[in-house]
Amino acid sequence: MHLLFLGYSSIVRRRVLPAARSISAIRRISVASRSQGQDGAEGRGDDGDAVNHWYADYADALDTAAADLVYVSGTNAVHAEWVMRALHDGCHVIVDKPAFPDLASAEAAVRLAREKNRGLAEATVFLFHPQAAALRALVDPAESAATRVTATFSFPPLPPDDFRYRADCGGGSLYDLGPYAAATNRLLFGRAPDGVDGMVLSRDALRDPGVDTSFSVLMTHDDGGSLAGHFGFVTAYQNRLSVVTRSRTIDADRLFTTPPDLACTLRVREGYDERTVPVARGDAFALFLEAFIDAIGRRDFEAFERALLEDAALLARLRQAAGAD
CATH number at residue 232: 3.30.360.10
127-131, 207-211, 240-244: least confidently modelled range:
207-211
- The 10s digit of each residue's pLDDT in 3-36 is 999 999 999 999 999 999 999 999 999 999 987 6
- The 10s digit of each residue's pLDDT in 196-240 is 999 999 999 788 888 999 999 999 999 999 999 999 999 999 999
Give the domain CATH number at 21: 3.40.50.720
Cis peptide before 98 (omega within 30 of 0): yes
Instruction: Indicate whether 46 pLDDT > 80.
Output: no
Instruction: Tell whether 134 and 257 lie within a shared domain.
Output: yes
Question: Does residue 7 sit in helix, strand or coil?
Answer: coil
The closest of 84, 76, 71 to 116, measured between CA atoms, is 84
Domain-ending residue, one of 124, 149, 184: 124
Is 76 among the domain residues?
A: yes
Domain-ending residue, one of 124, 149, 170: 124
List of residues 6+ apart from 11 with CB closer than 8 A? 73, 96
Instruction: Tell whether 183 and 238 lie within a shared domain.
Output: yes
Residue 43's pLDDT band, with cuts at 50, 70 and 90, is very low
Average pLDDT score over residue span 299-324: 97
Task: Identify the DSSP state of 56.
Answer: S
Is 163 among the domain residues?
A: yes
Instruction: Indicate whether 298 pLDDT > 90.
Output: yes
Q: How far apart are CA 132 and CA 126, in angstroms?
A: 7
Domain-ending residue, one of 108, 124, 140: 124
**Residue 79 near residue 72 (C-beta atoms within 8 A):** yes
Provide the pLDDT for residue 208.
82
Instruction: Tell whether 118 and 132 lie within a shared domain.
Output: no
Provide the pLDDT for residue 211.
95
Instruction: Tell whether 101 and 236 lie within a shared domain.
Output: no
Provide the pLDDT for residue 37.
53
Instruction: Tell whether 44 and 119 lie within a shared domain.
Output: yes
The burial class, CB within 10 Å (0-12 / 13-18 / 19+), for 161 is: exposed
Q: How many domains does the chain have?
A: 2
Instruction: Tell whether 206 and 263 lie within a shared domain.
Output: yes
Instruction: Tell whether 58 and 140 lie within a shared domain.
Output: no
**Residue 219 near residue 181 (C-beta atoms within 8 A):** yes
Instruction: Tell whether 158 and 115 lie within a shared domain.
Output: no
The burial class, CB within 10 Å (0-12 / 13-18 / 19+), for 267 is: middle
Provide the pLDDT for residue 42.
46
Instruction: Tell whether 221 and 74 lie within a shared domain.
Output: no
Instruction: Tell whether 50 and 141 lie within a shared domain.
Output: no
Provide the pLDDT for residue 101.
95
The closest of 172, 148, 140, 182 to 314, measured between CA atoms, is 182
Residue 151's pLDDT band, with cuts at 50, 70 and 90, is very high
Provide the pLDDT for residue 205.
77
CA distance readout (Å), 278 to 74, 102, 130, 131, 140: 36, 38, 10, 9, 18
First to last CA, the chain: 40
Is 308 among the domain residues?
A: no
99-108, 152-161, 190-199, 206-215: least confidently modelled range:
206-215
Q: How far apart are CA 61 and CA 152, in angstroms?
A: 39
**Residue 189 near residue 221 (C-beta atoms within 8 A):** yes
Residue 144's pLDDT band, with cuts at 50, 70 and 90, is confident
Instruction: Tell whether 200 and 65 lie within a shared domain.
Output: no
Q: How far apart are CA 128 and CA 126, in angstroms?
A: 5
Instruction: Tell whether 281 and 149 lie within a shared domain.
Output: yes
The helix, strand and coil proportions of the chain, stated in percent and rounded to the nearest 5, come to 35, 30, 35
Instruction: Name the residue range of residue 88's domain.
Output: 2-124
Average pLDDT score over residue span 239-266: 96
List of residues 6+ apart from 65 with CB closer than 8 A? 2, 4, 30, 32, 53, 55
315: left (phi over 0), alpha (psi -120 to 50) or beta: alpha
% of residues, the chain, pLDDT over 90: 90
Is 296 among the domain residues?
A: no
Average pLDDT score over residue span 111-125: 98
Residue type, 139: V
Give the predicted TM-score (pTM) of the model: 0.94
Question: Does residue 137 sit in helix, strand or coil?
Answer: helix
List of residues 6+ apart from 143 with CB closer than 8 A? 247
**Residue 124 near residue 96 (C-beta atoms within 8 A):** no
Provide the pLDDT for residue 325.
79
Is 32 among the domain residues?
A: yes
Provide the pLDDT for residue 36.
67
Is 307 among the domain residues?
A: no
Is 300 among the domain residues?
A: no
Is 294 among the domain residues?
A: no
